[in-house]
Amino acid sequence: MGSVSISEPPVVRDAYIHQPRPIKVIVIGAGISGIAFAYKAQSLEAVEYTIYEKNPDVGGTWYESRYPGCSCDIPAHSYSYPWVSNPEWSKVYAGAEEIFEFYRKEAKSYGLYEHTRFGHRVLSAVWGAVEGRWTVTVEDLATGRISEDSAEVVLNCAGVLNKWKWPEIKGLHSFGGKLVHTGNYPQDLDLKNKRVAVIGAGSSAIQVVPTIQPVVKSLFNFARSPTWIAPQFVGRLASDGRATAYTEEQKQKFRDDPQYLLDYRRQIDHEVNGRFLNFYKGSPGQKATRALVEQSMREKLSKMDPVLREKLIPDFDVGCRRVTPGEGYLEALQEDNVQLIRAGIQEITSTGVVASDGKAYEVDVIIAATGYDTSYVPAFQLRGRNGVDLAKRWAVTGAEAYFTCAVPDMPNYFMVVGPNTPISNGSLMPSIEAQVEFALSFVDKIQRQGVKSVVVSQQANTEFNDYKDAVMELLTFSGHCNSWYKGGTSNGRIVGPWPGSVNHFLESVRNPRLQDFEFEYESPNRFAYLGKGLTQRDIKKEELGWYIRARIPADAPKGPSFAQD
């Protein structure tokens, strides 16, 4: 006969089933993900939360990014949260300041400011297995004071675009003129009649160059790698391109007819998300997209030297690097005061830039449009179960996560916009909402089912990432080009986009696979949360016959159900 495990008799809790225990959540970052958490937190019971934000205000990337021409490259109505429509967007493609003001308004309406300590940088988070809590060390950036906080759950909402970085170029900081980065651009910088070098050919450089071209004396764009410059996403809505403004009549229609606005937003996201089918290698959609974008680029580069024009057309699939709409960029490159430098940079001197071919360019201002640290390694030390340091682990394995939200050996720790988030797969906003809800589903279990800690298993994480790598081989993301998707390499493991469509991601995380997680309980008997045999309904004597319902017709529509706010 097999042995029978006998547990100790449980101590019966003086509580009803699923009675939530009070817990605390520490949230890192008050950008669009942190604001989304604050919205969802309004419906939580017995949850205290504190948000630590290094900046003086909310918005994250949209607080920091104020370089010339900064705006969203998809329609603004797709940049609103799924649960809130904004009839007041002034343009189809809103600028950075307007986007920031939208998020600040939403944050205030959710009570976020009352829970947030601005100007505070998280230095470390260390898991305590005995107490089942994280100890978080924080620095007050105004005073330098170091303090500690603790919580059962840590939610990292810092995302990936939160650590801008200088390029690794010899002599960069020996430059005697003005050196700036697009991620920390000074608002009082006057470029009129200045000689300016812009380093980079990513989304920020593509917006900066045409914006400053009319005012500078001369502009040198150092862009070693070609990239696909696409027409505007959902451009049919913008007859005047990026300058297309909504008329007062259109905005009034949005205000007066909420259903019309919802339908308008859904159609935008339908088109934005539908582009994903074009990212399959060799697909008809990929071939058609590549032909369309190439034709568009050639038409816009008609005045350029044919040899240089050919060098600007990439030889890799559309989607291998982040696809960037670049209205005005290609045209600006052909203006008399602009020069495109395809050579690499040998060094920076006190007076300018020396290219790899030895030619020197004297400038007054250098704008580094060189992006962010996209390693996904947190900007703070994260030490989890058994002392595992996440930065050291990822230095060996590369950044990897379970469904972008969880990491082995990091109990009660969740991420929003972690590795392999659908960051280029379509509309980002529903994915952010889904990730917050994923984390909160475990917060609910910690509160209501006597869970002390929950952590994804190493085996589940390994198998998921093996699956992800296999699917990526089908997609243009894995093509042969240098991309931040692959850690700045041409053939590295993909840590950027999700291996599927936006809707594929939403369905993947809607009902978390609990069998992939390891649970530890507060009580020696895991069923202590059942309490003394009563429900909250029993105690309040509310709707004790709630289960009586009308018969559902056999031919009623069937399909996925969606949570209603």
- Output the pLDDT for position 10: 66
At residue 496 the predicted structure's pLDDT band, cuts being 50, 70 and 90, is very high
The residue type found at 236 is: R
The neighbouring-strand residues paired with 518 are 455
- Output the pLDDT for position 9: 64
What's the CA gap between 101 and 97, in Å, rounded?
6
Q: Tell me: pLDDT of 76 over 70.
A: yes
Q: Compute CA distances 524 → 10, 139, 531, whole Å.
A: 7, 38, 14
Q: Tell me: pLDDT of 565 over 50.
A: no
- Output the pLDDT for position 488: 82
Angle at 232 between CA 73 and CA 86, to 5 degrees: 50
The one-character DSSP state at 419 is T
Burial bucket for residue 280 (CB in 10 Å: 0-12, 13-18, 19+): middle
Cβ-contact 457, 408 below 8 angstroms: yes
Q: What is the pTM of this model?
A: 0.94
Radius of gyration of the chain (CA): 26
Backbone φ and ψ of 37, nearest 5°: -60, -45
Closest CA to 509 of 447, 453, 563: 563
What's the CA gap between 61 and 69, in Å, rounded?
15
Closest CA to 308 of 430, 231, 223: 223
Q: Tell me: pLDDT of 239 over 80.
A: no
Q: Tell me: pLDDT of 256 over 90.
A: yes
At residue 559 the predicted structure's pLDDT band, cuts being 50, 70 and 90, is low
At residue 1 the predicted structure's pLDDT band, cuts being 50, 70 and 90, is very low
Q: Compute CA distances 160 → 170, 269, 295, 373, 544, whole Å.
A: 26, 23, 33, 8, 48
- Output the pLDDT for position 278: 97
Query: What is the rounded average pLDDT of the residues 397-403?
Result: 96
**Mean pLDDT of the residues in the chain:** 94
Percent with pLDDT over 70 in the chain:
97
- Output the pLDDT for position 561: 45
* Cross-sheet strand order for the sheet of 146-151: 146-151, 133-140, 120-128, 381-383
For 159-210, the pLDDT digits (tens) are 998 899 999 999 999 999 999 999 999 999 999 999 999 999 999 999 999 9
- Output the pLDDT for position 563: 43
For 308-347, the pLDDT digits (tens) are 899 899 999 999 999 888 889 999 999 999 999 999 999 9
- Output the pLDDT for position 8: 59
- Output the pLDDT for position 129: 98
Q: Tell me: pLDDT of 2 over 70.
A: no
Query: What is the rounded average pLDDT of the residues 413-425?
Result: 97
Q: Tell me: pLDDT of 213 over 70.
A: yes
Q: Which residue has the tokens 């297309």?
A: 244
For each of the domains in the chain, give its residue range(s) and CATH number, in order of start: 23-163+374-521 (3.50.50.60), 172-228+282-316+321-368 (3.50.50.60)
At residue 216 the predicted structure's pLDDT band, cuts being 50, 70 and 90, is very high
Q: How many residues does the chain have?
A: 565
Q: Tell me: pLDDT of 108 over 70.
A: yes
Q: Please count the CA atoms within 13 angstroms of the CA of 168 that sit on its side-chain side.
A: 2
What's the CA gap between 33 and 156, in Å, rounded?
9
For 110-136, the pLDDT digits (tens) are 999 999 999 999 999 999 999 999 999
Residue 561 CB partners (closer than 8 Å, separation 6+):
none
Q: Compute CA distances 18 → 44, 132, 511, 527, whole Å.
A: 14, 19, 19, 11
